[in-house]
C-alpha cells in the first residue's frame, strides 16, 4: 500500500508569542520549527503501516524552502520520500487543498495511487480544520476526522474517534482520507542512522499553481492573558496554609 | 523571599555557577551585605550553567587555566557534587598523537601525574562500545569527572545566606546600573534600587549587555555549541550510576561522547561558528526551552553524526536509540579564548566575572573574590585579566572575527606561537611600509603588526650557515625561521634596528608624580632627571605585577614604558594608585610616540654619524636618557638594552617614525646594520642575557628574590608589596630562576627536537621537581642562543637543583632530553660581565 502524510511547517513557540511589527506573522527569530503533534502521529502511523504491510510512504508539505527541514525530519523517522510544494506565499485552506490535490493527481499520473492520505486534525498555527476535508471532497474519497486509532485490513480502514462517552468507530473503504489526532500512537524518536539516511532520500520540489482568492488575513492579535503566570505562595512550612487554600478553591480538598 | 535591601556592600548579578560561587567566596572572605540577583528563577535561571555538559578534563596547555580547573575540581569534590569517571582524548591522526604527547608533558608540567598514553586496545578495554580500529591511541586522564553545577551553585548560595552575608533575589531583572564620576553607584532593578559601590557582572552570555548599562565593555559573544542526547542505550540500561564509562573526546573531529544515565550525550565544536548577540537572546518567556537552549539546526550537525557513528557504531548506529534532545546551546566565547576577569577599565567598582565555563567556575570565583578583597589572587590571573584588551579589541566586529576563527580551535591543535588570521593590520607602526618592502613576517602584539623576522635577511643564512641550527621537525619550525638566529648574529657582530612600536607608553605628571611612581615601583624613583630605571612592580604579596622602565624626564614628569600586551593592565595599576588629592595624572602616549631600538657593537658609530650630540660612553651613560638631534629630528634617546648590546631606544613622535627609520637605515648601511625582528628581541637576545619577561618568568606566583632580581638594598620609601618583599629577603628562596642548556636534542626517532617553552623539568630519570611551596619546575621560556651555540631554557628550580652543572632533563612531547644548569640566578650566559652594554 501507499500512504501520503501531509504536514505543515509551524513555529515551535515558547510561553510568550511575539508578533512581527506588521502584525502579519509570529516573530520567529528565536524559534525552531516543527510539525504539529497531530501530524507527528500521522507520520508515525504511516511508517508503522508500511513496515507492517509493505509499500511506500510519502510526506508532503506546502511552504517555504526551509520546510525541507521538516520533510527530512519525517524521512528520518522512516518515511520513504518527500514532496515539497514550495511557495513563499501564505496559502489559505482552500488554496492549500487545491495545491495538494494537484500534487496527488500528478502522482497518480506517474502511476502512484495513495490508499491512505493522512492529515493532522488541524494545523498547529492557523488551526483551520479544513485542508483534509477539502482534499477528500475534491478527490471524492471518504474522510474520517479526529482519528485516534486506525487498523487497516482487506482494503478497509477501521478508524476510531474518542468521544466523551467512549469511542465512535468508522469503517471506510480505501482509498480514504483520515485526519488524525495526538494520542493515535507514541511517535518514535529519530535514530542517528535514520537521520543520516534521511539526507539521501529523494525530495521532489515543485511550485504549486497560483492561489485562489479566499480567506484574507487582516492582522493577528494576541489573546489577552497569554503566557504563564507564577505566584509564589511562600517558603517552607509557612507556605502550607496557602497551598491548602489553593487546593480547597480547586475543589481538590474539602 | 526577602525584600531587596536599599543598599549593599556588593551586588552580584547572575546566579549561575559563577555568581553563586563568587557570592559564597566573598562571604567566606568576610564580605557582608551582599546581594545576588537573577532575572530568572532559582536554581536554574536559564543561563549556560543550566544546560552545561558539566564534565571536567583538568589538563590544559595553559598553566593558569589548569590551576583554576584543579582548584574548581577540589571545590566540587568538597561540595560532594563530583563524580570521577575518567576521560580519554583519542587520536585518529599522527598529528593528533603528537598533540596528545604534548598534553602528557603539559600535565606533568602542571603537576597532574595521573595521566597516561593508552593504546587502541586499552581504549577498547575502557570503552567497549568504541571502534578502536580507527584510532591510533589516546591520552587517558583518570581524574576526569562530572559535576552537578546547579547543585554546587545552590549549596554555595545557601551557605552564604546561612552565614548572614547574602540576600538573594530571583526573578529580579536589572534595569540599569548608575555611575557617578566613573564609579558604580547603584543598581536599578524591577524590585527596587540598591545603592552600592561594587557590582559583579556574572551574567555569562548576557554580560556585555549588563556591563553596557554601566558604560563598560565586556568583549564576549554568545556562541552556539551543539549537543544531542540519544537513548535509551541498551548497554546503559543497568547502569546504577549516572556515568560509569570514561568520557571520550574525539579530538580530531572536535567532538565528545559521554554516558549520561541511560543516554549518550554527543557534543560538538566542529560546526560552523554560530554567533548571537547578547541583546537578542530570547527572554525566558519567549524561549521554547530556556534562553540559552536555542532550536537545534540539524544541517550543522549532519557531519558530526557521521563521525560519532564511525567512532561508536554499537550505540550511535543502533536503530532503537533515538535522538531525544538536541539543542544549540549558548556559551561564551572571547577573542583569545580566555575568561574576562577583573574590574573593568571603564567603570571603577564594576567587576567582570564572565566567559567562565563550569569546569573553571568555582576556582575563578574564589580567585576573583581574593582579588576584590586583597588586590591579588593566589592564582595569577594575568591571562584572564579583562584589562588585557585594548579598545579596538572590544569592538563587536573584532570579537566576532576572532571568536569565529577561534571556535573550531576549541579542540584544535594550537601551536604556542600560532597567529590569528582575522582582523589584522589594525595598529600599524610608522615603519610598516618599509617593513613590507623588506618582506617582514608579521606577528601580532596587542593589535600591532610587528616583524618577527625579515625575509630580506635570508642572505645572512649563508653568512652564518654553521651557527643557525635549522629545525628538522615541522612542529618545532612552525611560526619560526632560522633567519631569526641569523639576525641575532648580525646584531651581535654589527648592529640591528628593532621596531618597538608596540610598547605601551604613559606619562605620570604633576606635583604628586614622584609620590605616584615611588609608591608603585620597587626601585628608587627619586633619581636625577635623565635617568632610566628598570623596576619590578609588585603585588601586595610581593609577587610580580609587572616589570617595566621609567624615565625621569623632569622633576614632576615620569615616562613609563611597558609591554604592549600587558600595557593596559599596568596603566590601570598605576592609575588606581595615584595620590588621592589629584596631584598626579596619567596620560597614555602609546599612540603618540614610536620607538626604534638600535643595538650592536656598531650602534654608537651609526648614531654618532647622524647626530652632533655627545653619544660617547662617558657623555651618554648607560641608564640615562636625553633628547638629541638626529638629522632633522629631535629624538628622546634612552641608553638601555633588552638584548644585551650597546645601544639606545629612540623615541620620536609617531608621524616622524618613518623618517627616523630611513635615517638610521641609511647611516647603518656602511656598518652592515640589519633590521631585526621580535624573534631576537623577545627570545634569543634576552635569553642569552637571562633577562626575564613578564608573563613567562615573572608572575605574581613568584617573588623578586626567587627571580634573582632583589638588588643590594631596599629603598626607604614605601611601595606596594614592600613588607612582603622584606620578608622574602629574609627567607631562603624556595626556588631559584635558572638558565639551562640542552645537551642532546636527538629524539627516539633520531630527529633533533627543539623545545618551545612550558615543558616540565625533571631529574634525569624522569622524577618531577617540586619546590617547598608545591610549585613544579617547568620551562618558562625556551629559545636559541645563537651566540652561545646552545638551545636555552629558563626555569625555576628548587635550591638543591639550582646549582651550575646539575644534570637534569626536560620532557618534550613526552620524551626526555638531557639538560644542564648553566646559570643559577641572573648572571648572563652571554657576556656575563655586561661589557657590551657598558662599553
Q: What is the 3-state secondary structure (H, E, C) of B137-187?
A: EEEEECCCEEECHHHHHHHHHHHHHHCCCEEEECCCCEEEEEEECCEEEEE
State whether A193 and B319 contact (CB < 8 Å).
yes
* B697-731 tens-digit pLDDT: 999 999 999 999 999 999 999 999 999 999 999 99
Q: Lowest-pLDDT range, A212-216, B483-487, B762-766?
A: A212-216
Instruction: Please report the sign of the dihedral spanned by the C-alpha atoms of residue B372, residue B374, residue B379, residue B385.
Output: positive
| Exposed / middle / buried, residue B715 (Cβ in 10 Å: 0-12, 13-18, 19+) | middle
Cell numbers at residue B399, please? 570579537
- Report the pLDDT value the prediction gives residue B241, as an integer from 0 to 100: 87
Q: Which residue of B has its CA nearest to A231?
A: B171
A2-229 folds as: Rossmann fold (3.40.50)
CA distances B584 to B181, B508, B570, B719, Å, are 17, 7, 16, 16
pLDDT mean across residues, chain B: 97
Q: Give all strands (DSSP E) within A107-155, no chain letters.
A: 116-120, 143-153
- Answer yes or no: CATH 3.50.50.60 is held by domain B10-47+152-219+337-400: yes
Tell how many helices (H) and how many strands (E) occur in chain A: 6, 11
ω into residue B43 within 30 of 0, thus cis? yes
Q: Is the pLDDT of residue A92 over 60?
A: yes
pLDDT digits (tens, 9 = 90+) for B597-637: 999 999 999 999 999 999 999 999 999 999 999 999 999 99
State yes or no: pLDDT of B743 exceeds 70.
Answer: yes
CA distances from B231 to A187, B263, B315, B486 (A): 15, 4, 9, 60
CATH architecture of B82-141+222-333: 2-Layer Sandwich (3.30)
Query: How high is the ipTM of this complex?
Result: 0.88
pLDDT of A225 reads 67
What DSSP designation does A223 have? P
Residue A228 confidence class, pLDDT cut points 50, 70, 90: low
Say if CB B310 and CB B133 are below 8 A apart: no
Q: Read off the pLDDT band of B285 (50, 70, 90).
A: confident
Residue positions counted in chain B = 839
Select from A30, A189, A191 the Cβ nearest to the Cβ of B287. Answer: A30
Nearest to A192 among B282, B285, B323 (CB): B323
Neighbouring residues of B89: CB distance < 8 A, sequence distance ≥ 6: B57, B100, B103, B138, B139, B141, B249, B251
Rounded CA-CA distance A27/A23 in Å is 9
* Predicted local distance difference test score (pLDDT) of residue A227: 55
- Looking at residue A65, its pLDDT comes to 97
Asked if A223 contacts A97 with a C-beta cutoff of 8 angstroms, the reply is no
Q: B319 CB near a chain A CB, below 8 Å?
A: yes
Separation between Cα atoms, residue B364 and residue B380, nearest integer Å:
11
Find the mean pLDDT for residues B322-334.
96
Distances in Å between the Cα of A151 and the Cα atoms of A48, A79, A147, A168, A186 are: 11, 19, 11, 14, 15
Rounded Cα distance, B577 and B539, in Å: 12
pLDDT tens column, A34-49: 999 999 999 999 999 9
Q: What tens digit of pLDDT does each residue of A158-195 get? A: 999 999 999 999 999 999 999 999 999 999 999 999 99
Model confidence at A98, in pLDDT bands (50, 70, 90)? very high
Grid cell of B38 as nine digits: 537573577
Count CA atoms within 13 Å of residue A16 on its CB side: 12
> Quick one: pLDDT at residue A226?
59
Question: Per the structure block, which three cell numbers stand in for B596?
Answer: 626604534
- The confidence score (pLDDT) of residue B351 equals 98
Domain ranges of chain B: 10-47+152-219+337-400, 82-141+222-333
Other C-beta atoms within 10 Å of B43: how many? 16
Note the pTM of the prediction, 2 decimals. 0.94
Q: With an 8 Å Cβ cutoff, is B309 touching chain A? A: yes
Q: What are the catalytic residues of B?
A: 225, 256, 547
Contact A14 B320 (CB under 8 A): no
Q: Answer yes or no: do B309 and A188 touch at CB < 8 A.
A: no
Identify which of B639, B640, B661 has the alpha carbon closest to the alpha carbon of residue B652.
B661
pLDDT, position B1 = 44
In the numeric block, which cell numbers belong to residue B227?
Answer: 549537543
**Which of B281, B287, B305 has the CB atom closest to A195's CB atom?**
B305
Provide the pLDDT confidence category of residue A254 given band limits of 50, 70 and 90: confident
Strand order in the sheet with B647-653: B625-630, B633-638, B647-653, B593-599, B495-499, B673-676
Convert the pLDDT of each residue in B385-413 to its tens digit. 999 999 999 999 999 999 999 999 999 99
Size of interface A-B (CB pairs under 8 A): 76
Q: Do A232 and B1 touch (CB under 8 A)?
A: yes
Pairing of strands A2-7, A116-120: parallel
CB atoms within 10 A of CB A65: 11
Pairwise CB contact (< 8 Å): A30 & B294: yes
| Residues in B touching A72 (Cβ below 8 Å) | 298
B2: which strand partners? none
Residue B286 to residue A14, Cβ atoms within 8 A: yes
Identity of the residue in A189, A193, A227 whose CB atom sits nearest the CB atom of B285: A227
Amino acid at each position: 500500500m501507499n500512504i501520503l502524510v501531509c504536514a505543515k511547517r509551524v513555529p515551535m513557540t515558547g510561553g510568550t508569542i511575539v508578533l512581527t511589527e506588521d502584525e502579519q506573522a509570529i516573530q520567529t527569530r528565536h524559534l525552531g520549527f516543527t510539525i504539529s503533534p497531530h501530524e507527528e502521529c500521522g507520520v508515525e502511523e504511516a511508517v508503522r503501516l508500511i513496515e507492517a504491510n509493505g509499500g511506500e510512504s510519502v510526506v508532503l508539505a506546502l511552504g517555504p524552502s526551509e520546510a525541507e527541514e521538516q520533510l527530512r525530519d519525517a524521512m528520518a523517522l522512516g518515511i520513504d520520500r518527500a514532496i515539497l510544494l514550495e511557495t513563499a506565499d501564505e496559502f489559505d485552506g482552500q488554496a492549500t487543498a487545491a495545491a495538494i490535490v494537484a500534487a496527488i493527481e500528478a502522482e497518480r499520473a506517474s502511476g502512484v495511487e495513495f490508499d491512505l492520505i493522512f492529515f493532522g486534525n488541524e494545523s498547529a498555527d492557523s488551526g483551520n480544520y479544513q485542508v483534509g476535508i477539502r482534499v477528500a471532497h475534491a478527490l471524492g474519497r471518504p474522510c474520517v476526522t479526529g482519528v485516534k486509532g486506525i487498523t487497516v485490513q482487506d482494503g478497509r480502514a477501521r478508524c476510531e474517534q474518542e468521544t466523551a462517552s467512549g469511542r465512535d468507530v468508522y469503517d471506510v473503504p480505501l482509498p480514504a482520507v483520515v485526519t488524525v489526532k495526538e494520542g493515535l500512537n507514541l511517535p518514535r524518536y529519530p535514530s542517528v542512522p535514520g537521520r543520516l539516511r534521511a539526507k539521501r532520500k529523494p525530495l521532489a520540489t515543485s511550485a504549486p499553481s497560483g492561489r485562489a482568492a479566499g480567506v484574507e488575513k487582516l492582522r493577528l492579535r494576541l489573546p489577552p492573558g497569554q503566557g504563564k503566570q507564577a505566584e509564589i505562595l511562600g517558603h517552607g512550612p509557612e507556605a502550607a496554609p496557602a497551598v491548602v487554600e489553593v487546593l480547597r478553591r480547586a475543589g481538590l480538598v474539602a | 523571599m526577602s525584600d531587596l535591601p536599599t543598599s549593599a556592600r556588593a551586588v552580584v548579578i547572575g546566579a549561575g555557577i559563577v555568581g553563586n560561587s563568587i557570592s559564597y567566596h566573598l562571604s567566606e572572605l568576610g564580605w557582608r551585605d551582599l546581594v545576588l540577583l537573577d532575572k530568572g528563577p532559582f536554581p536554574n535561571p536559564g543561563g549556560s550553567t543550566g544546560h552545561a555538559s558539566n564534565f571536567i578534563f583538568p589538563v590544559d596547555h595553559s598553566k593558569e587555566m589548569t590551576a583554576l580547573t584543579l582548584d574548581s575540581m577540589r571545590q566540587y569534590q568538597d561540595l560532594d557534587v563530583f563524580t570521577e569517571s575518567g576521560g580519554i582524548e583519542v587520536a585518529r591522526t599522527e598529528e593528533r598523537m603528537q598533540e596528545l604527547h604534548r598534553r602528557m608533558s603539559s600535565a606533568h608540567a602542571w603537576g597532574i601525574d595521573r595521566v597516561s598514553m593508552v593504546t587502541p586496545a586499552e581504549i577498547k578495554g575502557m570503552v567497549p562500545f568504541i571502534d578502536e580500529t580507527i584510532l591510533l591511541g589516546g591520552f587517558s586522564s583518570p581524574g576526569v569527572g562530572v559535576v552537578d553545577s546547579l547543585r554546587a551553585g545552590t549549596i554555595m548560595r545557601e551557605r552564604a545566606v546561612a552565614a548572614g552575608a547574602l540576600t538573594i533575589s530571583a526573578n529580579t531583572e536589572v534595569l540599569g546600573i548608575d555611575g557617578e564620576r566613573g564609579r558604580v553607584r547603584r543598581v536599578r532593578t524591577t524590585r527596587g534600587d540598591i545603592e552600592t559601590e561594587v557590582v559583579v557582572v556574572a551574567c555569562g552570555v548576557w554580560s556585555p549587555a549588563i556591563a553596557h548599562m554601566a558604560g563598560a565593555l565586556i568583549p564576549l559573544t554568545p556562541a552556539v555549541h551543539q549537543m544531542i542526547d540519544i537513548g535509551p542505550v541498551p548497554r546503559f540500561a543497568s547502569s546504577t550510576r549516572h556515568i560509569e564509562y570514561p568520557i571520550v573526546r574525539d579530538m580530531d573531529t572536535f567532538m565528545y561522547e559521554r554516558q549520561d544515565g541511560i543516554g549518550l550525550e554527543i557534543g560538538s565544536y566542529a560546526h560552523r561558528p554560530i554567533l548571537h548577540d547578547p541583546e537578542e537572546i530570547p527572554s525566558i518567556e519567549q524561549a521554547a526551552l530556556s534562553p540559552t537552549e536555542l532550536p537545534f539546526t540539524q544541517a550543522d550537525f549532519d557531519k558530526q553524526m557521521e563521525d560519532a557513528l564511525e567512532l561508536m557504531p554499537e550505540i550511535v548506529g543502533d536503530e532503537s536509540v533515538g535522538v531525544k534532545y538536541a539543542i544549540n546551546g549558548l556559551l561564551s566565547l572571547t577573542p583569545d579564548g580566555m575568561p574576562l576577569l577583573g574590574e573593568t577599565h571603564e567603570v571603577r567598582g564594576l567587576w567582570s566575572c564572565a566567559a567562565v565555563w563550569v569546569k573553571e567556575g568555582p576556582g575563578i570565583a574564589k580567585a576573583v573574590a581574593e582579588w576584590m578583597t586583597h588586590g591579588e589572587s593566589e592564582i595569577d590571573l594575568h591571562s584572564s585579566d579583562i584589562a588585557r584588551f585594548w579598545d579596538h579589541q572590544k569592538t563587536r566586529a573584532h570579537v566576532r572575527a576572532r571568536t569565529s576563527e577561534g571556535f573550531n580551535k576549541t579542540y584544535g591543535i594550537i601551536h604556542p606561537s600560532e597567529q590569528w588570521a582575522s582582523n589584522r593590520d589594525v595598529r600599524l607602526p610608522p615603519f610598516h611600509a618599509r617593513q613590507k618592502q623588506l618582506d617582514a613576517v608579521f606577528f601580532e602584539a596587542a593589535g600591532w603588526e610587528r616583524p618577527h623576522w625579515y625575509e630580506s635577511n635570508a642572505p645572512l643564512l649563508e653568512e652564518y650557515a654553521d651557527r643557525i641550527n635549522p629545525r628538522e621537525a615541522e612542529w618545532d619550525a612552525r611560526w619560526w625561521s632560522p633567519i631569526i638566529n641569523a639576525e641575532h648574529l648580525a646584531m651581535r657582530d654589527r648592529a640591528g634596528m628593532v621596531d618597538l612600536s608596540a610598547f605601551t607608553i604613559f606619562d605620570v605628571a604633576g606635583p604628586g608624580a614622584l609620590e605616584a611612581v615611588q609608591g608603585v615601583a620597587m626601585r628608587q624613583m627619586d633619581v636625577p632627571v635623565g635617568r632610566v630605571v628598570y623596576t619590578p612592580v609588585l603585588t601586595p604579596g610581593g609577587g610580580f605585577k609587572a616589570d617595566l622602565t621609567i624615565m625621569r624626564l623632569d622633576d614632576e614628569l615620569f615616562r613609563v614604558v611597558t609591554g604592549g600586551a600587558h600595557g593596559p593592565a599596568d596603566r590601570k595599576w598605576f592609575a588606581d594608585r595615584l595620590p588621592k588629592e589629584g596631584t598626579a595624572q596619567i596620560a597614555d602616549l602609546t599612540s603618540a610616540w614610536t620607538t626604534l631600538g638600535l643595538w650592536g657593537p656598531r650602534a654608537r658609530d651609526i648614531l654618532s654619524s647622524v647626530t652632533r650630540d655627545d653619544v660617547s660612553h662617558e657623555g651618554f651613560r648607560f641608564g640615562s636618557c636625553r633628547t638629541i638631534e638626529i638629522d632633522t629630528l629631535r629624538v628622546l634617546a634612552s641608553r638601555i638594552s633588552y638584548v644585551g648590546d650597546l645601544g639606545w631606544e629612540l623615541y620620536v613622535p609617531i608621524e616622524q617614525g618613518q623618517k627616523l627609520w630611513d635615517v638610521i637605515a641609511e647611516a647603518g648601511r656602511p656598518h652592515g646594520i640589519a633590521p631585526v625582528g621580535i624573534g631576537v628581541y623577545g627570545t634569543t637576545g634576552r635569553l642569552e642575557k637571562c633577562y626575564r619577561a613578564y608573563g613567562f618568568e615573572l608572575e605574581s606566583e613568584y617573588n623578586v628574590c626567587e627571580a634573582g632580581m632583589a638588588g643590594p638594598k631596599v629603598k626607604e620609601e614605601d611601595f606596594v608589596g614592600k613588607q612582603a618583599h622584606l620578608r622574602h629577603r629574609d627567607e631562603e628562596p624556595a626556588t631559584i630562576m635558572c638558565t639551562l642548556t640542552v645537551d642532546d636534542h636527538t629524539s627516539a626517532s633520531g630527529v633533533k627536537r627543539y623545545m618551545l617553552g612550558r615543558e616540565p623539568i625533571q631529574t634525569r630519570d624522569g622524577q618531577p621537581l617540586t619546590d617547598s611551596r608545591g610549585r613544579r619546575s617547568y620551562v618558562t621560556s625556551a629559545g636559541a642562543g645563537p651566540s652561545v651555540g646552545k638551545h636555552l631554557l629558563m626555569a625555576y628550580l628548587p635550591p638543591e637543583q639550582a646549582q651550575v652543572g646539575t644534570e637534569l632533563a626536560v620532557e618534550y612531547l613526552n620524551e626526555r632530553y638531557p639538560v644542564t644548569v648553566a646559570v643559577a640566578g641572573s648572571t648572563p650566559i652571554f657576556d656575563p660581565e655586561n661589557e657590551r652594554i657598558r662599553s
